[in-house]
Structure 1
Amino acid sequence: MGNTRRKFSIVLLILMAAFLMADQNLLPPNYQQIMQEFGISETQMGLVSTIFVATSALITLIWGFLSDIGRRKKLLVIGVLIGEIPCFLTAFVHSYWQLLLMRLFTGIGVGSIIPIGYSLIADMFEEEHRGKGYAYIQTAFGFGTLFGMIIAGLIVSWRPPFIIASVPNFILAPLFYLIAEEPKRGEGEKVLKEVLEKGYEYTYKLSWDVVKKSFQTKTNLLIFLQGLSGTVPWGVLMYWLVSFLIVTRGMAKDTATFVLLILGIATVIGTLVGGFVGDYFERKMRGGRAIVTGLAIFLGMLATIGVILYPLPSQLSIKGWIALTVYSLLFLQLVSFAGPNVTAIISQVNLPEDRGTVFGVFNIIDNIGKALGPLFGGFLIETLRNAGYSNALAYEYALIIGSLFWIPCALVWLWIKRQYPEDRERIQEILKKRAEEIVGRGKYDAV
């Protein structure tokens, strides 16, 4: 990683990612207020968040493809600004349909950070430290989301937080463009680093034939599969938990938001810890990264259901806040171990010129569950209520049902454990051959 400019580039990238992601949780603490203002149902409210998440996920394929053929630094700045301008304008909407439209436009920009940011991280960190690099950026995602949650929960009106969350990137994005370093593609790979440092260039470019072959990689397919079910709980819980606490526990909006904040901090810490733990177990045993991730997801699911079922009082005492914090830090953090380990594995089983696109497709598939979660949660609440359950039970059962989707996710990780070491070794062999070709023939372009 080395020089000061590289470190400063990483810091700027992480800060931009944090503020861009702050937009994600600006709505959920205010669901009840917005539903009253616009006269809409839970399903309609959930649709707003679903549109945002779905758009940001689908557009990542385009951003990912562009990042594999263009200058990533410039593309990221464009993406950040495309996201922050409509985020700022959301504060001034006057109807439900205007809100829906602004969230759609914001999602287009937010979708840039995953494929472009992950592609940059892959080349900024060497392979054995890549889990740490992804832990940094995903921790930034988490803290950004928490920041948005705090300002949305503490400010009385739901509109000003959109201004507060968007303004910092109007400064950071131009600064990143002027100062940040664009790493060479493949620079983070051990087998390529030596030849790149000698002045050779990794000029292998993305081609659709290569992309098609990459989806014949079994590890990619398994990672996509675990994400389909593993993100449903996030879509249900993160978007409906505050409303659940308001409706079922009688909490005020700020109290409910602080409960979500504590749970969110625990998952952010889990993302950071998960990257380091995954790296550690990967060094200790073949497939160790997958073993620890699958186990953590299952245990974290049990801890989550425990929080949903426990009858938290409307006002927590100091002891109550401490107990909730300790419980969350010990157990709830486990459920977020998947994030950095998923991205580390994808970077290991795909060639450098393919990663942006593969990350883009991964983000689309990985966010199907998260995109459906808010709508699915709202639909479940209305369906259970119409079936005769009380409003409180409808909210409670909806969150429990959403959490159970982590079970198939954890089981897929047992399969990943067996498969991904083989795919990783195959990629390493390809890179070794390419390093020899680069040295033997100078600059070489394979399309």
Structure 2
Amino acid sequence: MDSCLLKGALVVDPSQQIESRMDVLIDNGRIVKIDRNIPNSAAARIIDVSGLVLMPGIVDIHTHLRDPGYEWKEDIESGSLCAVAGGITSVCCMANTDPVNDNPSVTRYIIEKAEKVGLCDVFPVGALTKGLKGEEIAEIGRMVEAGIVAVSDDGETPRDSRLLRNAFDYAKSFGIPIFCHSEDKTLSAGGHMNEGWLSTYLGIPGIPPEAEEIGTIRDIKIAKLTGARIHICHVSTRGALKAIEQAKKEGVKVTCEVTPHHFTLTEEAVRSFDTNAKMAPPLRTAEDVEACRKALKTGIADVIATDHAPHSVDEKMVEFNYAPFGIIGFPSLLPLSLNLVRDGYLTLSQMVEKLSRKPAEIINKKDIGTLKPGSRANITVFDPDEEFILTEELIKSKSRNTPFLGKPLKGKVKLTIRNGKIVFKDF
């Protein structure tokens, strides 16, 4: 692979406390050197990225690629295309496929297909229980050997706390995290949006914040009991964030993520019965949105992740109560995250930390999420000031289910590099 020199970008790498105009030299798919004024003679190819920001490739640890089984919504190829267009070089895909990723055969299928596509890293998340049914622990050890980086039953939260304890113990023995969709499903059953005065006004059955908070507290307690390492997905309420904050103070091995839609939109987005604003957990109140932003600022929330969840137009083009939960997140991840920088909640370096280094750390990947010499050359380059309208043509996913479609966004990905190879370019 030819050497390449990226010239003149604002390089941001929290792993090295770098935020400065520098050059980046790549050779054989690896970072060779970061320095000022590296001579052009050092590389076979020169790319001028002056005026742009260069960061370690984005690592999105919560996504749904729908492959195998639901390829009309998304597949590994279309999902990878959409990811790299959003500056994302690594994704963790959840196990709710058909067949469920609860055995090494499905794990190997995902990894082999992703390698054939060759656009971004696809790290499978294996099922915690067989068939996501919450009845019997899945083949975690064999899936770890096949290549999973974590386990999760995602939206199908196990109700049996004793089984959950045993599963946490088992996963702990392999040194992998458990990704928790923390929810009391008996309390949220039948709900379609945040429970409150607006759900009553609209006549839509609600999901109370307590469903998430009770589930979060249970998962934390079992993690404390077992010593397992848990990562709580898509936190959306003030109460859940308070529980996580307290758990961290007590030394529980817990991290958590917030999605861009949960720190950007409130339940008011549902007022027009837009099914593209229906997700799980649901959009909450303005106070919850502010709590999510502050949690990212203070470090209670460790990661920004999308929960990219494609659905076809036909599936979403129904009455609100019949539409599936979920939105796509790859195209809007970076511009919405940059809003936190513009609004003073995060520094640029802190944003990169939550999009890149920290998620890589959670899944035990030491050679991504950093620009240290010797690490893989996974790189995202973007223009923080470029404004654009999110059109269907810009979305590389098979699905278009996002409330940000047709909306103005600011901050555009210009170049995505994986293993030293350009996989997306927009200049």
Task: Please report the TM-score for the alignment, with normalisation by the length of structure 1.
Answer: 0.24
Question: Which structure is higher in RCO with an 8 Å CA cutoff and minimum separation 6?
Answer: 1
More helix by share: 1
Structure whose alpha-carbon radius of gyration is higher: 1
More strand by share: 2
Task: Please report the TM-score for the alignment, with normalisation by the length of structure 2.
Answer: 0.25
